[in-house]
A and B are shown apart, each in its own frame.
Chain A
Amino acid sequence: MTIPREHYLQAVFPTPFHARTSAANTLNAWHRWRDYTVADAYFDVGLEYTALRNACTVFDLSPMTKHLITGPDALAYMNRLVTRDVAKLKPGRVGYTVWCDDAGQVVDDGTIFHLRDHVYRLCSQERQLDWLHGSAPGFDVSIQEETHDVAALALQGPTSCAVLKRLGLAGIETLTPFGIRGYAFEGGELTVSRTGFTGDLGYELWIDPELAVALWDRLFDVGQQVGLKPMGTFALEMSRIEAGFIQAGVDFLPADRAIRAERTRSPFELDLAWLVDFAKGPFTGRRALLAEKARGSRHRLVRLDVEGNKPAKDAFIYDRRRKNVGVVTSALWSPAAKSNIALASVEMPHGAPGDELWAEIYYQKELKWSRLMARCTVVEGPFYSPARRRAVPAADC
């Protein structure tokens, strides 16, 4: 993308869907997602969330940072970059991963799309071009940021497959979780991946920005009957916590942005040990992670079921002797799980299943502030994970 000298006159860009998202945004509620504005909410956060879990929603994902990595060494490069074994990721498959700095601290998390041989798309929360280029010497690869070149929508919810079916995507119900498939769309290509950030049945749609509005319109043409609604970031945030997903800058500090030492976390400390493959060969952080494995980690990410119904946002976590051992990074009352849930980072050895932990919660009703100590139970696995999320063929009606 060539940037005009006068780019400063428009500090924040509309996304390729803006013509439609702005028309749909009855609340006129927006926030900034780096270069773009996206909707906080369109009509009502609670109802948008309900639409997601009950029917389906679209979320404008276009500002997500995307990189295209190509070249003969693309696989070797990806394998040295990230912690998991990319060789096991076949063309047409997506894998969630993290990547670490030399000290084994998580730089960012994201998804790798193995589009075809020697071609990968890496989606990440943060800007990564400097890190990706910094990892490239010694590899014959080309790395391009393509954030502005690819428009994206997350279509999520129990009826999402039905929407795509009605759109005419033949056989979409057979697409397995983390699968990718391409379809022709209005003279261009629509790439569909069965991925998402909601922990529900859902897809992500990737398309040329020129065709973005047409895609939106077609989706709503066919989706009305199965309850399709637009969804903003607030409702998405609810669903991702329910799914137990972590977010850079919220649940962990990206290691390459950290100014203070010891504020970062390793994959082990984020409950992501399953992403670390020591057997695959060298990758950045491997040595440090091996040492951490031998020595033991300093922190642990835990999923907590908090007693009562007061969300434990930003709460300090205490052990049974009322010693501060951690802090809640994300929390809410989960409508789907009907429980008061939280993600927290606690110091080792705290946070083992069955461990007694307490959250110090401040809340207010009609400007009266109260403090309460709520007992927390460590939960294993996601708070909410419906069977439809994994079902193949996906429910298509």
Chain B
Amino acid sequence: MTRYDVIVIGAGHNGLTTAAFLAKSGLKALVLERKPWIGGAAVSRELHPGWIYSNCSYVCSLLRPEIYRGLDLARHGLQVAPYGGGVTFTRDGDYIGGYPDKDVRRREYARHNERDADAYLRYSRDTMRQCRFIRSLLMRTPPDPASLRLRDLRELAHLGREFVKLGPTTMGDTIRFYSMSIADYLNEYFESDLVKAHHAGSGIIGTALGVHSPGTAYVLLHHYMGDVDGQVGSWGFARGGMGAVSNALAGALRAAGGEIRADAPVARILARDGRVNGVVLQNGDELYSDIVISSLDPKRTFLKLLDAGDLDADVVRKAREFRIRGSSGKLNIALDGLPSFPALGAGHPLVAGDMHFLDTLERFERAYDDWKAGTWSKDPYLDLLIPSLTDPTMTPPGKHYMSVFVQYVPRELAGRDWTDADRTAFRETVFDQIARYSPDFRSLVLHAEVRTPQELENEVGLTEGNIFQGELTFDQLFFNRPFPGYAQYRGPLRGMYLCGSATHPGGGVMAAPGANAAREVLRDLRRPAIVPQGWSDD
């Protein structure tokens, strides 16, 4: 019989983060992973010889620097290389480029709409105000507003203080921001549909909502609130693919004496008399621990790993009603060379950034309508990157790796599972859109991995293939994430905790849920608080 201080289910980046902090605190920690490899959705795999794919998540910005530093991830091999820019192509052969240089970017916007070029400053200012507010909350445990415990009152007071600090104008704007649609938000700044479309993608990535749906303005923050070395809103690649994040976390965990067991799917969490006492693996092994932490989403945790008999009916109902929908797919493509984009011309710097092809809000919304109708978008929103331009180690010399994120893609096609024929047709839809802007693209394709929400669900274990482990709307954010009363990382059983992206502050490779969960575990164990809180942003 093996006994551990803590058992963490799932070796995704959050599970590894929680375990690493707890191991660092001196606890005997074990992470159990269903797959033969670790990383969850932060994974690099070689599916075509010589090419390393960031199979799922593909860019890095949200990873909290406090954790990067607190777990010494640089020493464990993680290097994040920022990339600049972004471009949206228009159907008439032009484009709008988000150049990193602010004057060049302003001029580029002015090329399409002079007023929008200056309005962009106001847009950035207001968005940055929202970023500052939320950044002050990321590395903290949400309060339970219905509770009168000192800890919750203290966190409520912190929230109130941060809110009041915004000043009267921004306070009102914050409430609006959390309830608006991305389209309405952009309408308050920009005239040009192209400029709006250029910014709209950030409101719907990974989200089963259209650009006109209230609540999408907030999603924008999940693409702005990160930073690379203090540059808020910057994005970068993890050198060696996103698996490098997981590997560094695993390195930190092992260095602190923690253990990872791969190929060890958990069948059930063992519980008795309202408290957990371990897990049983699918092979029948029982592992004991007074603390079990699940990095899985609440549906898996509560409906699959736990007996309904061990839980309140209310918790079961909330888990069942937890909104987690697959809405995105991904293509990972090995290329024989660098495809050309005639609109940009050879050697254009924006090829190194993300590329998009929807140039009106209407195309975004129609893409969402397809999803509602139970099929993938026939004119989808793509977030296309060629990471090998920034990180040449991912491919053989001269070759390239293209990562194509696709929105919207449903988990089921009008109520049925995906077939191989569907996957091929889906791939062709995406290829068609790319080929319209890059005529030599098709001829360069050596291999393509097609990932629909079905693969994401089956391989990574994200229910319905939702990349954020649950929709990012206000009813599932902050003290509502995953649901009210359980947003403080503690589960409904004693000794049970949640640490996945289904907890505050949500998805994206942030690792903040994992760190916050570890902090709460240590608090309950009355051990020294070694998990960093957020750095002051003044």
Contact = CB atoms under 8 A, between A and B. Distances in A.
B111 interface: yes
A131 B108 CA distance: 19
B94 A5 contact: yes
Contacts of B117: 129
Nearest to A129: B118
A8 B122 contact: no
B196 to A, nearest CB: 15
B76 interface: no
Interface extent on A, as a size class?
20 to 34
A7 B166 contact: no
Interface stretch (B98-106, B216-224, B447-455): B98-106
A380 interface: no
Interface residues of B, number: 30
A304 B103 CA distance: 36
B137 interface: no
Interface in B485-528: none
B422 interface: no
A210 interface: no
Given A259-B132, A260-B132, A130 B104 contact: no
B103 A7 contact: no
Contacts of B108: 3, 7-8
Interface string B104-140: 1011101100110111011001001100100000000
A234 to B, nearest CB: 22
Contacts of A7: 104, 107-108, 111
B345 to A, nearest CB: 8
Contact of B167 (A32, A129, A131, A262): A262
A129 B115 contact: yes
A35 B104 CA distance: 8
Contacts of B538: 260
B111 A257 contact: no
Interface in B192-228: none
B310 to A, nearest CB: 48
A133 B115 CA distance: 8
Contact of A35 (B107, B111, B114, B128): B107
Contacts of A130: 115, 118-119, 121-122
B169 A127 contact: no
Nearest to B343: A5
B449 to A, nearest CB: 33
Interface in A258-275: 258-262
Contact of A11 (B94, B104, B345): B104
Contact of A3 (B94, B107, B349): B107
B97 interface: yes
Contact of A256 (B107, B122, B166): B122
Contacts of A12: 103
Interface string A1-36: 001011110011000000000000000000010110
B353 to A, nearest CB: 12
A385 interface: no
A18 B103 CA distance: 19
A128 B117 CA distance: 11
B165 interface: yes
Contacts of A11: 101, 103-104
A8 B121 contact: no
Contacts of B106: 127
Given A5-B111, A7-B111, A34 B103 contact: yes
Nearest to B94: A5
A8 B349 contact: yes
A103 B110 CA distance: 29
Contacts of A128: 118
Contacts of B166: 261
A251 interface: no
B99, B107, B119, B128 pick with most chain A CB within 10 angstroms: B107
B125 A8 contact: no
Contacts of B114: 129, 145
A262 B164 CA distance: 12
Contacts of A32: 103
B79 interface: no
B170 interface: yes
A319 B479 CA distance: 45
Contacts of A103: 169
Given A34-B103, A256-B125, A257-B125, A3 B110 contact: yes
A293 B108 CA distance: 43
Contacts of B103: 11-12, 32, 34-35
Given A3-B107, A8-B99, 11 more contacts: A3-B110, A7-B104, A7-B108, A7-B111, A8-B104, A8-B108, A127-B118, A130-B122, A133-B115, A256-B121, A261-B169
A-B interface, 5 closest residue pairs, ranked by CB to CB distance from nearest: A261-B167, A130-B118, A129-B118, A3-B111, A130-B119
7 contacts: A3-B107, A7-B111, A11-B104, A129-B117, A133-B118, A260-B538, A261-B166
